[in-house]
């Protein structure tokens, strides 16, 4: 299938998941994950009306933003503190805030540049050794602390759910994320507006939408499989 056909198919599946969950299509933002893919492919999808793209390497965000700044870039990958400076002002949101020290760096750079940066707190929702993010048990407390830092806005939570054969296996993970967001909203803290839930990828986005995802991050199903050979990490 062509990228265009892939894209239209994903759009249909998102709509069906929204229908099943009794949600409006506008409640869910599709982030087309263009990481490792050439700018030409990104532009092809942008021409179909897609506005939001996901990247996980700083160098790629910098190159793509500088060449094609007309779309919204989301930083979704693990971010090193010494590269924060390059992301501020280029990414509309940093989804992958996985430590206090990273949050402090984002705050510091945002103050320097006199901007406010939207961030999500990453949760290691499947409790996996190999994954980044806060545990559920510490999420609320750490989120409240991070939210006190100047020039950042905590907008919600993000997770990369475990890789599973049957997406149903991740339903309980997504449900826990929704509960976390609701609990944070109920705290009514000025600094935390936990209205964004960034969860669901090619393999499990429909279940994520049914459980309340506001942003799904889909790469493979739109752009095809990724080839990491020759990609600078």
Ligand X SMILES: *Cc1c(COP(=O)(O)O)cnc(C)c1O
Give the orientation angle of helix 171-187 with respect to helix 136-147, to 10 degrees. 40
- Residue whose CB is nearest to ligand X in the complex, by number: 219
Q: Residues 6 or more apart from 48 whose CB is under 8 A from it?
A: 4, 7, 8
Closer to ligand X by CB, 108 or 212: give it: 212
* 117 binds ligand X per the rule CB under 6 A: no
Q: Which helix (H) or strand (E) holds 72?
A: strand 72-75
From the list 160, 207, 208, 213, which residue makes contact with ligand X (rule: CB under 6 A)?
Answer: 160
* 197 binds ligand X per the rule CB under 6 A: no
Give the orientation angle of helix 39-46 with respect to helix 58-67, to 10 degrees. 60
Q: What are phi and psi of 97, to 5 degrees?
A: -85, 105
Q: Residues 6 or more apart from 109 whose CB is under 8 A from it?
A: 84, 85, 88, 117
The β-bridge relationship of strands 152-159 and 117-123 is parallel
Closer to ligand X by CB, 33 or 87: give it: 33
Closer to ligand X by CB, 90 or 144: give it: 90
Please list the residues that pair with 13 across neighbouring strands. Answer: none
Q: How far is the CB of 205 from ligand X (least distance, A)?
A: 8
* 33 binds ligand X per the rule CB under 6 A: yes
Q: How far is the CB of 199 from ligand X (least distance, A)?
A: 9
Q: How far is the CB of 101 from ligand X (least distance, A)?
A: 20
Q: Name which of residues 53 to 112 contact ligand X (CB under 6 A).
A: 56, 76-77
- State the residues that interact with ligand X by CB under 6 A: 33, 35, 56, 76-77, 160, 201-203, 217-220
């Amino acid at each position: 299938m062509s990228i265009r056909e892939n894209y239209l198919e994903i759009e249909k599946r998102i709509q069906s998941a929204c229908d099943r969950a009794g949600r409006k299509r506008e409640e869910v933002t599709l982030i087309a994950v263009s990481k490792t893919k050439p700018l030409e492919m990104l532009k092809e999808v942008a021409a179909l009306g897609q506005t939001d793209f996901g990247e996980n390497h700083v160098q790629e965000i910098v190159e793509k933003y500088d060449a094609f700044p007309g779309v919204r870039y989301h930083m979704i990958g693990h971010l090193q503190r010494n590269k924060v400076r390059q992301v501020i002002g280029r990414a509309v949101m940093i989804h992958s805030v996985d430590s206090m020290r990273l949050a402090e760096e984002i705050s510091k750079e945002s103050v320097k540049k006199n901007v406010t940066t939207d961030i999500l707190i990453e949760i290691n929702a499947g409790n996996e050794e190999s994954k980044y993010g806060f545990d559920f048990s510490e999420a609320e407390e750490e989120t409240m602390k991070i939210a006190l830092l100047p020039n950042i806005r905590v907008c919600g939570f993000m997770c990369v759910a475990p890789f599973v054969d049957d997406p149903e296996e991740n339903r309980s993970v997504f449900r826990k994320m929704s509960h976390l967001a609701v609990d944070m909203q109920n705290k009514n803290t000025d600094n935390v507006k936990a209205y964004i839930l960034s969860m669901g990828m090619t393999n499990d986005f429909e279940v994520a939408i049914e459980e309340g995802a506001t942003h799904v991050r889909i790469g493979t199903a739109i752009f095809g499989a990724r080839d990491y050979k020759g990609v600078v990490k």
